[in-house]
């Protein structure tokens, strides 16, 4: 798995592997001297890349005809400088390749659309509210985000019971927060109630900015990272939408948003998908399959989470095991065994495992044998989730041997029905009021057409990678909403990645199957 990731990264850096026939020719004709030896260069083409590693592996395995000109690899093959060509040189080459990847420049993203935010700076005095600043009502914001998390999990899970689920309430709230700055009247009231428990949008803007600022790793140890990006894409048609400068300014002030004006054709489709692919570190390659003719604006959020375990799993802690899926099938699994902090309540037993830096943690919640996952999700509340996550160091503190499966999967959902049922139906109807978004909204009314949410997670012995992207599509033609103490986690369970200071999850999901 690790080496496969290296290969993928190298491919992204356009390091190509020449053919063996080319290697023979190069070796037969290239002069060698002490001044032009490149460490790791086994085929004497004066560069070190993935092809050198592949060929050296084959030579070590007995393919001695690869280098007929010299009978053995070039002098650069002695990567560890011990005078011999052996497996220890292969190890040194792999380390060198990883170092090359880490030091390579990050790929840049240059959309074809014009960025309306170019040159626009944050307004003086705008700032986010940091949760530890002592504001009296920051607890209200945290409670509202826990309510939003649990409510959305219940709505999305109820549609596809028995299947895997993974949402990022953080990503969805950021995208809807941007959108709410263009709403007015009852449309705004409903959005404020759903995403912020009734908190005014001006306050929510500051909290969302503060929440985003708290996710930045300012330490010298880059073993965990959370990256958040926001963008707005507007149709270049002044007869259908004229974005108000005040709306753009607020999105810049509180969401660091980019804002592009674009024709909403195939170039726009490519730009939006490329933007999401880039901002999620290629974990979510696309967010859109097509552009609806009624779409006039996209508000997009992307977030990535990558962290190593504070205490990684050693090789002896990884064993083969079984996982019983929600449909009763027994699946092969690689199980990770360790001693972790134990949490529990009346019908839950679970564990919490820290990521390096201790700012974020992974929690796994296993319902009792006599509690089905369907009824467990249905009975889950924000208070129950908070109490579970916060009682790890309570008076009954203890540890348990936790046996977790390695897992990786993608998830996708369209959230219109869920959000409408949570209390903001007006935003999706022809009664929607987005007059704070467009100067001609009174002539050409706008509404939310659909909300696409995609997520990805990969959990193994080294840590966790997760990504989410949320796209809110604004349309100018109303369309009806479609109706719509040893714990072995060897059966379906709930999990989340959460902030250890606020207990607000960045990601929360249900693992019902490994396939």
Mean pLDDT lowest among 3-12, 174-183, 402-411: 3-12
Is 87 a member of any domain?
yes
Residues 278, 205: one domain? yes
Q: How high is the pLDDT of residue 6?
A: 42
Is 498 a member of any domain?
no
Tell me what the mean pLDDT of segment 103-116 comes to.
60
Is 511 a member of any domain?
no
Tell me what the mean pLDDT of segment 399-403 comes to.
94
Is 380 a member of any domain?
no
Q: How high is the pLDDT of residue 32?
A: 54
Picking from 103, 131, 154, the residue at the C-terminal end of a domain is: 103
Residues 131, 252: one domain? yes
Residues 68, 169: one domain? no
**200-203 long-range Cβ contacts below 8 angstroms, 24+ apart:** 201/177, 203/129, 203/137, 203/141
Q: How high is the pLDDT of residue 291?
A: 94
Which of the two residues, 69 and 204, has the higher pLDDT score? Answer: 204
Tell me what the mean pLDDT of segment 75-95 comes to.
80
The span from the CA of 66 to the CA of 23, in Å, is 8
Residues 61, 128: one domain? no
The span from the CA of 494 to the CA of 367, in Å, is 8
What percent of the chain clears pLDDT 90, i.e. is strictly above it? Answer: 56
The span from the CA of 413 to the CA of 159, in Å, is 10
The span from the CA of 190 to the CA of 178, in Å, is 15
Band of pLDDT at residue 170, cut at 50, 70 and 90: very high
Q: What is the pLDDT of residues 471-497, one digit of tens each?
A: 999 999 644 444 447 888 888 988 888
Is 147 a member of any domain?
yes
Band of pLDDT at residue 30, cut at 50, 70 and 90: very low
Q: What is the 3-state secondary structure (H, E, C) of 285-298?
A: CCCCCCCCCCEEEE
What percent of the chain clears pLDDT 70, i.e. is strictly above it? Answer: 83
Quick check: 132 pLDDT over 60? no
Is 319 a member of any domain?
no
Q: How high is the pLDDT of residue 117?
A: 66
Best CA proximity match to 191, nearest among 208, 179, 203, 207:
179
Which of the two residues, 410 and 32, has the higher pLDDT score? Answer: 410
Q: How high is the pLDDT of residue 220?
A: 63
Tell me what the mean pLDDT of segment 222-230 comes to.
86
Q: How high is the pLDDT of residue 57?
A: 76
Which of the two residues, 81 and 180, has the higher pLDDT score? Answer: 180
Residues 193, 280: one domain? yes
The span from the CA of 510 to the CA of 457, in Å, is 12
Q: How high is the pLDDT of residue 486?
A: 80
Band of pLDDT at residue 34, cut at 50, 70 and 90: low
Residues 98, 134: one domain? no
Quick check: 15 pLDDT over 80? no
Q: Establish how many alpha carbons lie within 13 A of residue 398's alpha carbon, considering only the half-sphere containing its beta carbon.
A: 11
Q: How high is the pLDDT of residue 493?
A: 87
Quick check: 356 pLDDT over 60? yes
Picking from 61, 79, 103, the residue at the C-terminal end of a domain is: 103
Q: What is the DSSP pairing of strand 399-405 with strand 486-488?
A: parallel
Q: Establish how many alpha carbons lie within 13 A of residue 357's alpha carbon, considering only the half-sphere containing its beta carbon.
A: 21
Residues 133, 41: one domain? no
Band of pLDDT at residue 337, cut at 50, 70 and 90: very high
Dig out the tokens for 73 from the structure.
């690899």
Which of the two residues, 107 and 493, has the higher pLDDT score? Answer: 493
Quick check: 172 pLDDT over 90? yes
Q: What is the mean pLDDT of the chain?
A: 84
Q: Establish how many alpha carbons lie within 13 A of residue 334's alpha carbon, considering only the half-sphere containing its beta carbon.
A: 12
Q: How high is the pLDDT of residue 7?
A: 41
Do residues 403 and 490 make contact, with C-beta atoms less than 8 angstroms apart?
yes
Quick check: 180 pLDDT over 70? yes
Q: How high is the pLDDT of residue 119?
A: 65
Tell me what the mean pLDDT of segment 102-111 comes to.
52
Residues 120, 98: one domain? no
Best CA proximity match to 295, nearest among 109, 447, 499:
447
Residues 128, 54: one domain? no
Q: How high is the pLDDT of residue 433?
A: 96
Q: What is the pLDDT of residues 258-274, one digit of tens each?
A: 999 999 999 999 999 99
Tell me what the mean pLDDT of segment 452-477 comes to.
94
Residues 31, 173: one domain? no
Query: What is the CB neighbour count within 10 angstroms for residue 397?
Result: 11
Tell me what the mean pLDDT of segment 421-449 comes to.
95
Picking from 61, 76, 103, the residue at the C-terminal end of a domain is: 103
Quick check: 450 pLDDT over 90? yes
3-class DSSP state for residue 11? helix
Residues 133, 71: one domain? no
CATH assignment of the domain containing 184:
3.30.497.10
Q: What is the 3-state secondary structure (H, E, C) of 12-74?
A: HCCCCCCCHHHHHHHHHHCCCCCCCCCCCCCCCCCCCCHHHHHHHHHHHCCCCCCCCCCCCCC
Tell me what the mean pLDDT of segment 31-48 comes to.
72
Quick check: 98 pLDDT over 80? no
Is 280 a member of any domain?
yes
Tell me what the mean pLDDT of segment 333-348 comes to.
93
Quick check: 26 pLDDT over 50? no
Tell me what the mean pLDDT of segment 328-351 comes to.
93
Q: How high is the pLDDT of residue 36?
A: 65
Quick check: 10 pLDDT over 50? no
Q: How high is the pLDDT of residue 161?
A: 87
Tell me what the mean pLDDT of segment 407-423 comes to.
95
Tell me what the mean pLDDT of segment 48-76 comes to.
74
Q: Give me the domain span that covers residue 28.
A: 2-103
Q: How high is the pLDDT of residue 112?
A: 76
- What angle (nearest 5°) sits at the alpha carbon of residue 226, between those of residues 136 and 143? 30
Q: How high is the pLDDT of residue 431?
A: 95
Counted domains in the chain: 2
Q: How high is the pLDDT of residue 16?
A: 35
Q: How high is the pLDDT of residue 37?
A: 78
Residues 69, 194: one domain? no
Is 327 a member of any domain?
no
């Amino acid at each position: 798995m690790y080496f496969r990731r290296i290969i993928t990264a190298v491919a992204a850096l356009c390091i190509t592997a020449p053919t063996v026939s080319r290697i023979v020719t190069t070796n037969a004709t290239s002069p060698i001297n002490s001044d032009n030896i490149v460490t790791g260069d086994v085929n004497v083409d004066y560069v070190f890349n993935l092809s050198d590693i592949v060929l050296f592996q084959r030579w070590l395995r007995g393919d001695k005809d690869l280098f007929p000109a010299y009978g053995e690899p070039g002098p650069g093959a002695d990567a560890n400088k011990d005078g011999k060509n052996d497996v220890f040189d292969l190890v040194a080459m792999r380390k060198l390749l990883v170092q090359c990847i880490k030091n390579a420049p990050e790929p840049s993203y240059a959309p074809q659309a014009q960025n309306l935010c170019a040159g626009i700076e944050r307004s003086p005095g705008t700032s986010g509210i940091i949760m530890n600043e002592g504001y009296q009502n920051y607890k209200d914001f945290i409670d509202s985000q826990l309510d939003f998390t649990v409510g959305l999990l219940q709505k999305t899970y109820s549609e596809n019971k028995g299947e895997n689920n993974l949402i990022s309430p953080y990503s969805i709230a950021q995208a809807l927060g941007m959108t709410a700055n263009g709403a007015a009247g009852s449309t705004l009231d409903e959005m404020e109630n759903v995403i912020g428990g009734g908190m005014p949008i001006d306050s929510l803007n500051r909290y969302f900015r503060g929440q985003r600022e708290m996710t930045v790793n300012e330490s010298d140890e880059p073993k965990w990272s959370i990256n958040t990006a926001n963008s707005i894409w507007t149709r270049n048609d002044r007869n259908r939408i004229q974005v108000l400068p005040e709306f753009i300014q607020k999105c810049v002030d509180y969401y660091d948003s980019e804002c592009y004006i674009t024709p909403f054709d195939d170039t726009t489709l490519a730009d939006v998908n490329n933007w999401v692919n880039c901002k999620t570190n290629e974990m979510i390659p696309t967010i859109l399959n097509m552009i609806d003719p009624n779409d006039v604006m996209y508000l997009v959020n992307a977030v990535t989470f990558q962290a190593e375990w504070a205490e990684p799993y050693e090789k002896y802690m990884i064993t083969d095991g079984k996982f019983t899926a929600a449909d009763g099938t027994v699946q092969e699994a690689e199980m990770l065994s360790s001693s972790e902090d134990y949490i529990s309540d009346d019908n839950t037993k679970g564990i919490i495992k820290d990521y390096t830096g201790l700012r974020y943690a992974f929690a796994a919640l296993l319902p009792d044998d006599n509690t089905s996952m369907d009824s467990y999700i249905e009975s889950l509340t924000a208070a129950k989730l908070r109490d579970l996550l916060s009682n790890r160091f309570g008076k009954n503190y203890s540890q348990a041997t936790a046996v977790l499966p390695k897992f990786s999967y993608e998830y996708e959902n369209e959230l219109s029905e869920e959000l409408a049922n949570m209390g903001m139906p007006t935003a999706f109807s022809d009664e929607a009021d987005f007059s704070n978004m467009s100067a001609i909204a009174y002539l050409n009314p706008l509404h939310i057409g659909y909300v696409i949410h995609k997520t990805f997670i990969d959990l193994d012995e080294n840590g966790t990678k997760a990504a989410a992207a949320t796209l809110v599509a604004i349309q100018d033609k109303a369309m009806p909403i479609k109706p719509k103490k040893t714990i072995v986690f060897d059966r379906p369970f709930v999990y989340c990645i959460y902030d250890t200071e606020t207990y607000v999850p960045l990601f929360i999901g249900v693992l019902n199957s490994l396939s």
